[in-house]
Structure 1
Amino acid sequence: MMKKIILLLIGFFIFMSSCTDGFEELNTDPKTPIGQTDPSFILPTALNSLMNHHVYTGAVNENQLGTFSQYFAKYDYTNENIYDFRGNMFDTHWGSLYRSIAVFRDIARLVEVAPYNNGLSQSALNNRKAVSEIMEIWCFHQLTDQFGDVPYSEAAQSPDIVTPKYDKQSDIYPDLIKRLGAVVESIDTSAEGFGPTDVFFDGDMNRWVVFANSLKLRLAMRLADIDPSVASTAVNEALTAGVLDSNNDNIKYYFNTANAFMSPLRRNDGEAGWVDVLICETFTDVVNEVEDPRRWYMMYGWGPEDKPFNGYPLTYQTKGEFPHGDWGYAFLGWNFRYGDERDYPWAHILIDYAEVEFLKAEAVERGFIGGDAALHYTNAVTASLEYWEVGSDAITTYLSRPDVAYATAEGTWKQKIGTQKYIAFFPQSSEAFAEQRRLDYPALTPPVLVSGQLTQADIATRLPYPISEVNMNPINTTAAIDGIGGENSITTKVWWDVN
């Protein structure tokens, strides 16, 4: 028996030694994209997945920024209107952004790998890596603006780092600005990029340069209160390098007819599926006060006759306790309709000409650049009105209103710019949430509780770290929470929010 066992063992080792040359190939999953898929094929899927999540506000475990910016209010799950979120509410949002970062890094790695690099010049390879770099920066910018201190230097760096440390936002922001400058320098606009699989710009690297510069301008102005010197320098660098200069340059992602709805916002809003998310009363009050003509394009005004654009209040009360019924409140309008009811796709804006002009107006007021703040403000409001297809006569009438015109509108430049910027951002909840915190206008509404009302100090100013991080990365998450005062609170302010 012993001889048989020895002979079997010898045979086994001989067999194994003869197979070692093909061991790696045999043990590589041909279905996995890592190292096996053309990055040109990964890019459009990665962008679509990222944009769908970024836009899809209000659903269970999805992006809650529509509630935080008070663009939208919940009609069924009204506990979320008063910031009473379910335990794992922010896990998906956090995870989606970090998964996207990992994918964009893998795309940058794969462009250098044979056979995907064959026939491409080094300039073309650099351009493809630049696309991934810009999208990675955009993801980190979203994360740190919304959560504050987040994993950055160790995030998605290695499979061996499963509990990355948290970096201070004060370190992250300057590095993102530096990286944007470097990535623009790396782009050769005369060389090819990803071509038609680049679903943003169809391979036009000039557009990626403008995107990066405009994003740098946005990030620079976020630092205007906390570090004006760095902000001023970066603002001028971005403007010199070239930013958006018309609505034709707007950076946007088109949701095509393959989607069930042209806009992911419609999947649980108004007529689409069920009446779960409505336009928030905070937003309708702002646009109603100035009789903003964009109301007719942004929303359906199916409220009561004396107040057709009737927003839903931020309250914990049930819908049965309100008088107007299921169709008595404003919800998303024609521009967000079903795919088969429009002859062109709806697009979600990442950054547009209106925002750039608002930033220029602010930069003039702060002394970062020369020029006419009123002119940039007027350009910004006009660009937004034109984007929403408001007619020229209505635009002229609107801009001449004393409560809209820069010279006569109420308040400081912060109030004037902040209020109009809030309207123009709709429905870009992430940027509305960020700029309202930074400029402090318009004032958001404290939610109404069953037994009282929250105060202005209780307005949300950041997203809490998700439960998954608290449980799976406890040492680093606890250190991050200690660094912001010891509570994983939605009312703790991020670093650049100093007012």
Structure 2
Amino acid sequence: MKIKYKLYTAILGMGLLFSACTDGFENINKEYLPDLDPAESDLVFALKSGSTYAGAHLHQRIKNINIDCFSQYFENGAINRTWAPNDGYNIDYWSDHYRWLLHANSSIEGTKDSPEKINLNSVARIWRTYMQSQFLDFFGPAPMPTTKGENSAYIELKDQYTFFFKELSEASAAINTDKGFVSKSTQDIIFQGDLGKWQRFANSLHLRLAIKLSEIDPTLCAQEVTNAAKAKGGLMIANSDNAKGPIMSNGLWGQQYNYFMYQQSWGSKEVMTTTMEKIFTNLGGIAFNEEAKKAPAKLDPRGTKYFAPSVKGLWQGIPPGLNASETATDKPLLDSMAVDYAYLSPVWIVKNNTKPIDLLMYTEVCFLMAEANERGFVASGSAEEWYNKGVTASMEAWGVAAADITTYLKSADKNGWGTSAAYGDAAGNGNTKLEKIITQKYIANFPDVALEAWNDKRRLNLPAFVTPRYTSPAAGTYPLDKNIQNPNNFISRMAYPQQEVFVNKDKYEAGVALLGAGGDKTSTPLWWASKRSNYCTSNVN
């Protein structure tokens, strides 16, 4: 109880005294949304910033250059393909995250004693949990400022997750859907004032976080999965419940769908990896439906909606972890990256600059429930029913014909890793039910929810990934043995900003100790992934 109390008061303390961030804070509020109550203004600011990485600067540097690479959704440039930490980028995320959290905490603190603002308070608590959980997935144990404004201790992940579950349960239960919480529905950029959707988002986020404990604490995982599934308001029930962060789309820097800007405005191709190529190839048994000089005969119908054939007409991926200094082997591939490899579809993904950013979708909830049922964490429907719902919802969202969906779900054709779409087909390596579930979840979350793809890779070593050819010695210790069943071949976290060594040295060192023997390296697993579980049965390299 003492730990929980300290964590709770420390988090709330951000809204009271944080000497590094409070100078001119009232003016920031007035300039941002001058006509709103300060608590509402703070929440609106946190919603906008936390849902979009506050624009292109952090989205490119944290999501696109780091997380998209770690999840093998894209091979998009030289900066972090070998996992070497970029301290400047990490400092920016660290600093901005705590600024966003300050606004959420100020909203919570300003409404906690006002029963008439319980909905505003609840939404702010839910959103704070979303932002902080994303941040911890990137770095690991992190500090919380105290009410004295001093540099704070790093809090271990186990205690933060305990706090998250409590927060989400209480906040969801406290919501009164008969009343509002913002002065105008447009101030709620996520759900436009729909508190029923906020409840379902909270419970679905609870489910996401609970499943993450499947390996480290199966008992707690099962308990919290059940709590999430049975919570007031229920889980997301359709694609219309999807949580999205809207883009201002005014053509200014960072105010458009960022992948559109990277590829269409800048001309920098977001290139498919060989991992994605293997996942899509032959899956579902449906014929390739685009013109191309080189392509698989059969392809998951989402494959060409995600990636268009290259400039040369080639629907193929590039290997991850290439080393430009290997002039005989890797450099020629990198030099031809813009013309030889499939890239983000300009017809479906980046056809305009207005696409909102997906945060948590109904399809993910379906696959979370499929896994929970398959592994005995909950009994709610059947794993196959949830799996089929998830595949169908994903296909429908991308305009796949109903007849093709039916064909797909019956197909025993194996993809490049040995996985088929039909839930009942168990033949061959790489084709367990869990491999099917996580493969489909991986596909459905593309491209915006790459963090969850990386989370599943760290937690389960699924789906199968191509091992990188090279990793930077500055990143961590990796065997590079080309064994796809060895979780140690894949990145586990991002290193802390090195400014922490200077401004928060003692507590930084205590935080590093919470990581365990590996220290502050990208190869050190986070608490919930520390079992180094491997569920990959594919024997394809």
Query: TM-score, normalised to structure 2's length?
Result: 0.77
- Counterparts in 2 of 1:83 and 1:101: CA distance versus 1, 3 Å: same
2:377 paired residue number: 368
2:168, 2:111 → 1: CA distance? 20
2:498, 2:169 → 1: CA distance? 35
1:244 paired residue number: 236
1:264 paired residue number: 258
Query: Which deviates more from structure 2 when the two are superposed, residues 389-398 or residues 215-224?
Result: 389-398
- Counterparts in 2 of 1:178 and 1:312: CA distance versus 1, 3 Å: same
Among candidates 462, 465, 468, match of residue 496 of structure 2? 465
1:480 paired residue number: 511
- Counterparts in 2 of 1:140 and 1:112: CA distance versus 1, 3 Å: closer
* 1:134 equivalent in alignment to 2:126: yes
* 1:302 equivalent in alignment to 2:310: yes
Given residue 420 of structure 1, which amino acid in structure 2 is its aligned partner?
Q
2:350 paired residue number: 337
1:45, 1:54 → 2: CA distance? 9
1:11 paired residue number: none
- Counterparts in 2 of 1:439 and 1:54: CA distance versus 1, 3 Å: farther
* Contact 2:320–2:467 (8 Å) recurs in 1: no
> Identity rate of aligned residues, in percent?
28
* Contact 1:300–1:331 (8 Å) recurs in 2: yes
Residue 253 of structure 1 and its aligned partner are, at CA, apart by 1.9
Given residue 509 of structure 2, which amino acid in structure 1 is its aligned partner?
T
Query: Which deviates more from structure 2 when the two are superposed, residues 429-438 or residues 140-149?
Result: 140-149
Deviations, residues 352-402 of structure 1 (Å, cap 9, x unaligned): 111111111111122222232111111111111111221212212222221
Structure 1: segments with no counterpart, 5+ residues = 1-26, 114-121
2:444 paired residue number: 424
Query: Which deviates more from structure 2 when the two are superposed, residues 245-254 or residues 275-284?
Result: 275-284
1:201, 1:353 → 2: CA distance? 14
1:210, 1:466 → 2: CA distance? 35
Q: Secondary structure at the match of 1:449?
A: coil
* Contact 2:72–2:320 (8 Å) recurs in 1: no
1:18 paired residue number: none
* Contact 2:85–2:495 (8 Å) recurs in 1: no
* 1:382 equivalent in alignment to 2:403: no
Residue 491 of structure 1 and its aligned partner are, at CA, apart by 1.1
Q: Secondary structure at the match of 2:47?
A: helix
* Contact 2:318–2:341 (8 Å) recurs in 1: yes
* 1:71 equivalent in alignment to 2:73: yes
Deviations, residues 30-70 of structure 1 (Å, cap 9, x unaligned): 73428986333444443222222278577346662111111
Task: Give the aligned length.
Answer: 453
2:137 paired residue number: 145
Structure whose CA Rg is larger? 1
- Counterparts in 2 of 1:255 and 1:391: CA distance versus 1, 3 Å: farther
- Counterparts in 2 of 1:62 and 1:220: CA distance versus 1, 3 Å: closer
* 1:226 equivalent in alignment to 2:220: no
Structure 2: segments with no counterpart, 5+ residues = 1-22, 284-298, 413-419, 473-477, 534-541
Deviations, residues 302-361 of structure 1 (Å, cap 9, x unaligned): 2654x4143464312278612745232222223332546xxxx41222211111111111
* Contact 2:53–2:59 (8 Å) recurs in 1: no
1:349 paired residue number: 358
2:331, 2:304 → 1: CA distance? 27
Residue 205 of structure 1 and its aligned partner are, at CA, apart by 1.2
Residue 135 of structure 1 and its aligned partner are, at CA, apart by 0.8
Among candidates 338, 341, 356, match of residue 326 of structure 1? 338
Cα RMSD of the aligned pairs, angstroms, is 2.9
Given residue 165 of structure 2, which amino acid in structure 1 is its aligned partner?
I
- Counterparts in 2 of 1:462 and 1:85: CA distance versus 1, 3 Å: closer
Given residue 524 of structure 2, which amino acid in structure 1 is its aligned partner?
T
Residue 215 of structure 1 and its aligned partner are, at CA, apart by 0.7
Query: TM-score, normalised to structure 1's length?
Result: 0.83
Query: Which deviates more from structure 2 when the two are superposed, residues 362-371 or residues 444-453?
Result: 444-453
Q: Secondary structure at the match of 1:161?
A: coil
1:54, 1:432 → 2: CA distance? 22
Deviations, residues 126-173 of structure 1 (Å, cap 9, x unaligned): 11111111111111211222222222xxx1443x33311011111111
* Contact 2:319–2:468 (8 Å) recurs in 1: no
- Counterparts in 2 of 1:362 and 1:112: CA distance versus 1, 3 Å: closer
